[in-house]
Each structure stands twice: as structure tokens, then as C-alpha cells.
Structure 1
Amino acid sequence: MTRPCLPALEHITAPAFQAPAGACDSHAHVFGPYHRFPLASDRSYTPAAYPAEAFIAHLDQLGLERGVLVTASASGTGVGNQVVLDALRQYPARLRGVAVPAADTTDAELDDWHAAGVRGARFNLYQLHGHAVYRNGSGIEVLEAIAPRLRERGWHAQIWIHAPDLVEMGPRLKKLGIPLVVDHMGRMATARGVNDPGFQTLCALLAEGAAWTKISGADRNNAGGGTAATPYAEVDPFARALIAANPDQVVWGSDWPHINYFDPADMPDDGVLLNLLTRWLPDAATRERVLVTNPARLYDF
């Protein structure tokens, strides 16, 4: 039995800027209702139910038009993608998806997912000290086997990986010949510094156009850091370095509804997370690239 996660905040800080038309939250999850879309029996956490309409309310609260839903590890693979597919079919103009294929996922299933709005497949390579952090998901072997079929459909591979592991894994991933999207700035702990070889590898992948990244996860990369005036300030150099490496290969995501939090003091405020863009993307033109132009290109809006 896993520990129940705290619910996302109902009342958030107001956005400090008006998002441009077509702005996108490029990383979020939906769960439930559980009588229709049960969680995997073997999972690392148990979130509250947040169905499609709850995510649409989240977008409206932030003043965003579009969103990208990612199948979460607690949902598993195969049938676990159904909760995302159902949401995409309910809101085809506003949503796109990233699913988690299994080794036995068929071409017919991939085509069905594509028709629903899936444009990428997520792979869990995230380890710390040589051990997997989350149960479920598909690994590097499934990615290498399925990559040609992703390429045929114009999909990307979303990689959940610790940036320091990119030093070793980067060349293997580049050989796949498909776009790579690295989650949450490579899940970089700020204490490692921007000169960490893995983080510099991520910057280089962006610079050459071989990878994208999501400037998301500030709350996880530096939980509780900064001050009330400048929350998560220690993440600023990392986000700015990635944007400087290639602003055309960067998207933003909230990671709503912020699973795996158990202390109310740690629960992120989505308005605060969005407002970080006033520091990271102070000019409106670059903000529009990251919130509108780039996700439209990556997710085929």
C-alpha cells in the first residue's frame, strides 16, 4: 500500500502576466475517476483523482489555452494510458499527450494513440545511485526497440533522466535518430551547480538541436529554496543556461497536480511556478516562443 499524496492547491497566486494566445502547459498528469481508470497495483505513490475537467480548470486558472498530458508511472503502461487518451478525446483542440508504450504495444495501438493526439512516448531512465526512483514505465531497451516506429509517426521520446547520467547515456540516445525531450531540466539538484558535466551535456544537446527540455520542476530541483520575493532562486541559473543554449528547444510545464508531496509546506503553487517566467523569460517575444511557438511545433497543435 503506497502513501496517499497531498492534493494540489485549490487557491493559487495570480499570474503576474497575461499569457499569450495559444500558451501551453507542456507537462501535467490526469488521474481517474478510478472506477474507470484504476491505478497500477504496483506503484510508487497514490495521487488523488484529477480527471480531464480538473486539468482544464487548471489551465483556465493560469490563463493558458493548451496543455500536454503525460501518462504517469502510477498509471502503468498499456491500459494505463487510457486516462490520458480519454482526456485528449474530450478536448482535442486544447490537449496533446505523451504516452508510455510497452514492449508489446502494436502498430494499431500507436496509430490509435496518434489519432487521439499523442505525439510522444515517455521512457523512465531516472535513477539515483544506480537505483530506479519510480516503479513502472518503460526503459531504454523498449525505447531502442520502438524508436523506428516512433520516427515513422513523427513522435519524440520524452526522457525522464538524471542529467548527470547524460554523460554516458547521451551518445546512446542520439543514435536513435528521433527528437529527445528531457524532463524537468534533467532533474538537476541545484547543489551540483551549472558546471556539472551532465548538465553541460544537456545544454550541448539543446545547442545542437538534438534535444529539447522542459524548464519545469523548480520545486523538485530546489525544494523550498529562495525567498518569498524570489522563490526557487537557486534554479534561475539552470533555467537561464538552458534558454541561452537554444531558446527554440525549450518548453515550460507546471507538473500539476504535483504528485508525491506529503508535507503541506512543500506543495507548489502553480501561480508561483508560472511567474518564474518573469525572471527566466523577461521579454515577451522569448516568452511567446517558449509558451506558444515551441510547444505548437513539438506537439503538433
Structure 2
Amino acid sequence: MRYKLNISLAAVLMMSACVALPSPADAAVQRFTDEAGVVIYTIDDDGVVSMFESRPGTDITLSVTRGTREQMQPQITEITPQEVAAGTSTTLKIQGKNLIGATVKFSVPGIDVSPYLTKPKSVDLPVRVGANVPPGEVVLELSTPIGKTQGTFKVTELKIGSGSPVRREGIGKHQTISTTAPTSCPEGMVGVAAETGGFCIEIDRSYSGDVRKAEKSCAMAGKRLCQAVEWQHACEQAKSNGLGLKNITGEWEWTGSYAKYDVQVQTGERDLSDELKSVLLGKSDCQTQYLYPSWRSGPYPGRCCK
């Protein structure tokens, strides 16, 4: 009887020990998620930070980077272009480290940011610099759940032209942003008049591939992807005023604009990912948009603006 009792007590003690042992999954972890609820950072009990790069709009992990909190602080090594004229749009290319989940703010008002994606070592930031932003250095503060860092670029003078006068607050003088078409566009481009400021656009499509190839092709030529509103201005003028553009309709073309939508509107299927989509234009007219997941490789053509 005593032998059986000892066995029973031993079994109870062993079961208690098993229950008391903590599993790794139960360890306390601090988690940070993006707007879609996808985990982008965790911090474990030992202070190790893990940064997760996921496929946009999904929880599929593409890469994981780990280090101490000090090692995982965000860093900016380069911002290009270093100069942006007031009254223009461009994409700021931010290079660095630990940039997943980055948010930005500027030291001056009047700079608008379109939706963007973040990668571990880069952020492509579509910006529109208002015509009233004064020339000078702008500090860009970048924040992640782990820390903050800064970089700088310069806003240059608004280009003088023949258009509606625009007053700069506090300067006491009028400057104007040209609403007429530029007359000195690079070879292979033509000037377009627009209320938001005249710009140059390529006469014909110059590349084909995914959106990253599109951005790279334009950047290597010292140009940029056209914003959707610019492309639409150019298309309308080609149709109504004989602007000399080739193949302006007939195929979807990339633009530098992004948007969000419910897939149910176009396909009858509900998309709960709330992911960013690239805006494509030009299949049949100047206005109809096709919103395409920017992480997918799409063999679409396009043209650049400047």
C-alpha cells in the first residue's frame, strides 16, 4: 500500500512540474502592428528586437532582422533627390536601415505625402511640395516603434512663370507658378499645361515591367513617374488639343500615385487587407483607373514626367 502511495505522489509531482514549466510561446513579448494588424516588431524578455518584413497586404513574412534595441534603431543614410522645387511633386528615395513601419513628418508645413510602402532598407516617399513652401532646408523626422532619426533635403525657389500669382506668407512679395506648358523639355518629352504647374511628359512609352522597374527607369533618366492627375491632364490635352503624345490609350500605364479600394467594387470579392494599390491609367480613356497591388509583378508599360 505504501509502495502504491509513493508512486501516486511521484506521478502528481511530475505532473505539477510539467504544468509549471513555461513554454516559449507563453513568454512575454511586446508586439507592434501596422494599420492592417500585421506584426512588424516584437521585443522579447531579453530585449531582443525582431523586425518583420511582410508581403504588402498579407501576413506572409519575407524577412526577419534581429538585434538589440540599440542595433535596431532606424537610420537614414541618404535622401534623394536632395533638392525639390516648390510647387512640384516627386518621390523621395530614403535609404538606410531598420525602416519597416516608418512614419514621417517635416519641419515645415505644406508638404503632402501620398500613401507609401516601407522596406527594411528603403522607403519611397511620394511628396507634393506646396507652392507656398519657402526655400531652405527641410528636416525629415522618421519614426518607427523602436526609435527616431532625421535626414534633410532642400526646397528650392518656386519657378517664375506666367500664371496666377501665388503669395508666400511672411515674405511680402508675389511669386508665380507657371500654369503654361514648359518650352524647354528634354528630348523625347513635350510640355503640358496644368493648373498645378506645367510639366514635361514623355511622348511615348519608354519602359515595361513592374512598378519598381518603372520607378528605376525614370529615376535613372533624371525623371519620375507621372502622378495620376498629371497623366490625366496630358491625356485630355492629347485628345482635345492635339498634344503630340503617342499611344496615350490602349494599354494600362503605371503612374506614381497610390490608392486603396475594396476589391468587391471591381471583382465581387471582398478584400480585407486594405493594401495599397498602384494607380494605372489609359486602357480605354483618360479617366478610368485600374488599381493594382504594387507588390505584384505586372508587365505594364509607362512613360515618365519631369
Bigger RCO of structures 1 and 2 (CA < 8 A, at least 6 apart): 1
> Same fold, TM exceeding 0.5?
no
**Which structure: larger Rg?**
2
Bigger share in helix: 1
Bigger share in strand: 2
